[in-house]
Structure 1
């Protein structure tokens, strides 16, 4: 393997959570007078901080969102994750073949990352190597989260590769000087194709890219 450490994004790369999260945002936005097309929301919100998403919804609704909006969003998505969340197809098989250190670095809070990894039976692969943007108060597309993760893992940037599915995450990796591979789906393909990075749409393809 040509790398010494692999750092994964979580949502949309390890766990299939984006549809739940963005679908919930669209539903809640509608209830507050902001109508957003679901496909457009996937392109707009993918990989962005909740602050960005909430500010966009408030701007569209032309009013301040309720103080409990984030609390309600967390409650709805956590309940849905526990009932519906699935691992990304092929991720268990891929991780079983990797024999170098791995980590996860996500814009989400640490408790959400742990919940999602536990629900999908991935937690044992990442326990102790979980990095949240909330821990350092710096969110993608700022590169600080990936730089922080690499430093704590004990590796130089050149020895790490980032696995991402969002333009914001790819930008964070590139800004930090990392190699990055983009995991594509119907919602993000066009955006990632423009970023001039290696792309894959199946975890078996990622295994080949890593070697």
Structure 2
């Protein structure tokens, strides 16, 4: 089975998210730039991000912050979200079971895939880190997805774009493909994904099928 992260892998969302998250934190009186958001929170659950920010700032976020932020992200996605180049082609040729396991909430996952035309490849196999106790880099989400799909974790391949996501896949005992082809992925990302434990790193979705075939042969 192949388990896909959503943000930064299937959809080119990370720059949009960083902009919206930074703007809403600024409005709430928390000085987080898009660069800080991207550096420290890419791949992580919103709830974990909120907790870390509150601890660092020594004060609480507004009670409705999570709802406001989610609504603003969804609004931005409806207007500007784009599919990752060649993702649909790669998925069309990929045989065997597959699912999406993302740190985002299930509504955001579904909207992301609907907006970009990818939902047909995965519905109903969508899993959110809100369903498990610990978010990435803990292995909980990937192990949850494997259990729900009734596949042994050792027979799973994870496709991830963040070091915390790669670390989660490795901790789950799965083979991991690092993807550094999103618009947010600079030259340093390849080494960061390798350092986190990725078995292979690719920069183009057209390389996905061959890479998966190779990993299945290991």
- Please tell me whether the aligned partners of residues 45 and 129 of structure 2 are also in contact (alpha carbons under 8 angstroms): no
- Please tell me whether the aligned partners of residues 29 and 57 of structure 1 are also in contact (alpha carbons under 8 angstroms): no
Bigger drift between 188-197 and 152-161 goes to 188-197
- String of CA shifts for 1:114-142, please: whole Å, max 9, x gaps: 11111111111100211112223432222
Alpha-carbon deviation of 1:68? 0.8
Matched, 1:38 2:34: yes
Match of 1:183 in 2: 179
Corresponding pairs, count? 207
- Mark the runs of 5 or more structure 1 residues left unpaired by the alignment: none
- String of CA shifts for 1:128-172, please: whole Å, max 9, x gaps: 211112223432222121112112212112211000111111111
TM-score, normalized by length of structure 1?
0.90
- Mark the runs of 5 or more structure 2 residues left unpaired by the alignment: 214-218
Bigger drift between 124-133 and 25-34 goes to 25-34
SS at match of 2:44: coil
- String of CA shifts for 1:68-103, please: whole Å, max 9, x gaps: 111110110011111111111110010011121110
Structure 2 CA distance for partners of 1:118 and 1:75, relative to 1, 3 Å: same
TM-score, normalized by length of structure 2?
0.88
RMSD: 1.7
Structure 2 CA distance, aligned partners of 1:130 and 1:116?
Answer: 12
Matched, 1:108 2:109: no
Bigger drift between 140-149 and 72-81 goes to 140-149
Match of 2:216 in 1: none
Structure 2 CA distance, aligned partners of 1:54 and 1:36?
Answer: 12
Structure 1 CA distance, aligned partners of 2:134 and 2:55?
Answer: 23
Q: Out of 150, 154, 157, which is 2:153 matched to? A: 157
Match of 1:206 in 2: 208
- Please tell me whether the aligned partners of residues 99 and 125 of structure 2 are also in contact (alpha carbons under 8 angstroms): yes
Matched, 1:193 2:179: no
